């Protein structure tokens, strides 16, 4: 490789690494919102309605907001979802974790376990710019 081209390649790599490090550091210091993505396959609608009513109250008590509620997903690629999709937004992963482990939600999540099959994913969003 020619010396000037080699130096330009190294300089470009250093700039890219510095930018990536700065972005990662900024993102760590500015936590983004958190999204709880839930796949729900209801087995007992009446029982699940009781869960949904009680759980909704606890979501609001802990600062959460529903972004998607019971939507049917269209598969674009990969396996079909097993049920409907719910997405709940919290201010941070920490706030979502506090809700998930709160006494209020712990008192009702057993109803969900009895009345539906679910998969849940907690995802941290990008910080606000």
Q: What is the pLDDT of residues 71-122, one digit of tens each?
A: 888 999 999 988 999 999 999 999 999 999 999 999 999 999 999 999 999 9
3-state secondary structure of 127: coil
Q: Strand 65-71 vs strand 116-124: parallel, antiparallel, or unpaired?
A: unpaired
Measure the CA–CA gap between 94 and 52, rounded to whole angstroms.
22
For the whole model, what pTM was predicted?
0.75
CB-side exposure of 95: number of CA atoms within 13 Å? 20
- In this prediction, residue 30 carries a pLDDT of 75
CATH code that applies to domain 31-124: 3.30.70.100
CB 60, CB 122: distance < 8 Å: no
Q: Could you count the other beta carbons within 10 Å of the beta carbon of residue 50?
A: 14
What are the residue boundaries of the structural domains of the chain, listed by start? 1-30, 31-124
- Is the pLDDT at 15 greater than 70? The verdict is no
Q: What is the pLDDT of residues 33-45, one digit of tens each?
A: 999 999 999 999 9
């Amino acid at each position: 490789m020619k010396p000037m081209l080699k130096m330009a390649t190294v300089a470009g790599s250093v700039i890219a690494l510095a930018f990536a490090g700065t972005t990662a550091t900024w993102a760590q210091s500015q936590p983004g919102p958190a999204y709880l993505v839930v796949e729900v396959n209801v087995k007992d609608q009446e029982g699940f309605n009781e869960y949904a009513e009680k759980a909704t109250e606890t979501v609001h008590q802990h600062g959460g907001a529903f972004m998607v509620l019971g939507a049917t997903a269209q598969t674009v690629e990969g396996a079909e979802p097993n049920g409907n999709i719910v997405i709940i937004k919290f201010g941070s992963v920490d706030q979502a974790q506090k809700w998930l482990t709160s006494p209020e939600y712990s008192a009702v999540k057993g109803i969900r376990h009895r009345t539906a099959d679910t998969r849940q994913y907690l995802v941290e969003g990008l910080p606000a710019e």
